[in-house]
Structure 1
Amino acid sequence: MARTGRPRAFDKDQALERALLLFWSRGYGATSVQDLVDALALERGSLYGAFGDKRQFYLAAVQLYWDTYERRLLTALETGPVLPALREVLTHPARAHEYASDVGVPQGCMIGNTTAELVPEDDEAREVVARSHARFIEIVADALRRAQAGGEVTRAATPEAQAQLLLFTAQGYSLVARAGLDPTAALAAVDALIDALRA
């Protein structure tokens, strides 16, 4: 009779969520395998067996981060006026304290953090980031196209160009937020961009 192996005594999805928070708060390089073992209360063998090495574990966490972000982005933009929703999307990094956990406080956008730490040397990380950026532009451009048709947003530029500008702003805002920023000045800058998009 073939051995089927010992079943995992942990919830893989829950472990990935906890790892996401740890990587998000500390970054890839500053998070050791021992940090993951301690935070997840797992044996190293269980961790490697479930997720592979630290890099693969990190990339899985980044993908989970993006999947969650994409769902929230779609929900935010599918109903009601687009510009207030976009303002909320852009100022999201300033509310990182809302995601505080016992493993630390996430900082900024994890896609932006991955870009700064791993891209361009890591091909797989670059692909994850590129896919995330492309989806952001696609989702936001679709919303802006509807908003242009409804007279909410200016037609001075294409929805794709406007979405690209919003991506640059979101990523820049996120990185500046990590370094500490004046919330009043940051919100004023976002409001200036949103006002520039009004019809």
Structure 2
Amino acid sequence: MGRPRAFDEGEAIRAAASLFADRAYDGVSVDDLVVHLGVHRNSLYKVFGSKRGLYLAALRWHLEHQVRPVAATIAAAPDPARALRDAFSAIDGDPDLDLLLLALVERAPVDAEVAAEVDRGMRDLDAAAAVAIGGDTPAGSAYTLVATLLGLRMRARAGAGTAGAGTSLLDRIHRT
């Protein structure tokens, strides 16, 4: 009979999602995961199979618990102006979209399973944006809004900031 698992799998996945969102897949080693998660290397491999297995679990958790709630908030806004404010609030200094963003640019081009997960997350955001800006709006506008949000988040991560651009845009949205 094996020893009982000495770590909470759900907590390990959440912690891994945070680490991958902060440093990306290639920026995290198995040693980093072992130290950050407080698990033994053998336990990590036994439960997740590999670093990639843990990454996929973390990405799926991220989509379910961070990206979809952002999408739901945007879609549930009472009017398009509120939806846009909620959307910009989601990217202004909030890392809730970071793992999706990093997976999109780093892993999706080289890993079909990651690409499929990223595609689902992007479709959720596109659908939320389409609802937020009106059902009769062309799908291209929702796509453009999501691309803009992710671009602003990427700039914020790179240190280019969104406060000036985001604030003035939010002010303009508020006045409309």
Q: Which residue of 50, 53, 61 maps to 2:50? A: 53
Structure 2: distance between partners of 1:49 and 1:128:
23
3-state SS of 2:134 partner = helix
The Cα shift of 1:29 comes to: 0.6
**1:14 lines up with 2:11 in the alignment:** yes
Query: What residue in structure 1 maps to residue 84 of structure 2?
Result: 86
Judging changes above 3 Å, is the alpha-carbon distance between structure 1 residues 120 and 192 closer, same or farther for their aligned structure 2 residues? farther
| Equivalences for residues 96-175 of structure 1 within 5 A | 96=94, 109-145=98-134, 157-158=137-138, 160-175=139-154
Offset of residue 109 of structure 1: 2.2
Q: TM-score, normalised by structure 2?
A: 0.84
**d(CA) in 2 for partners of 1:94, 1:19:** 23
Structure 2 unpaired stretches of 5+? none
Q: CA deviation at 1:188?
A: 4.6
> In the alignment, residue 41 of structure 2 is paired with which amino acid?
R
Work out which of the two has the higher radius of gyration on C-alpha atoms and give 1 or 2.
Answer: 1
Sequence identity percentage:
31
**1:17-28 matches, cutoff 5 A:** 17-28=14-25
State TM-score, norm by structure 1: 0.76
4+ residue stretches of structure 1 with deviation over 4 A?
A: 192-195
Q: CA deviation at 1:49?
A: 1.4
Change (3 A) 1:24 1:186: same
> Structure 1: which 5+ residue stretches go unaligned?
97-105, 147-154
Measure, in 1, the Cα distance between the counterparts of 2:63 and 2:84: 17
Give the Å deviation of 1:162. 2.1
Partner of 1:185: 164
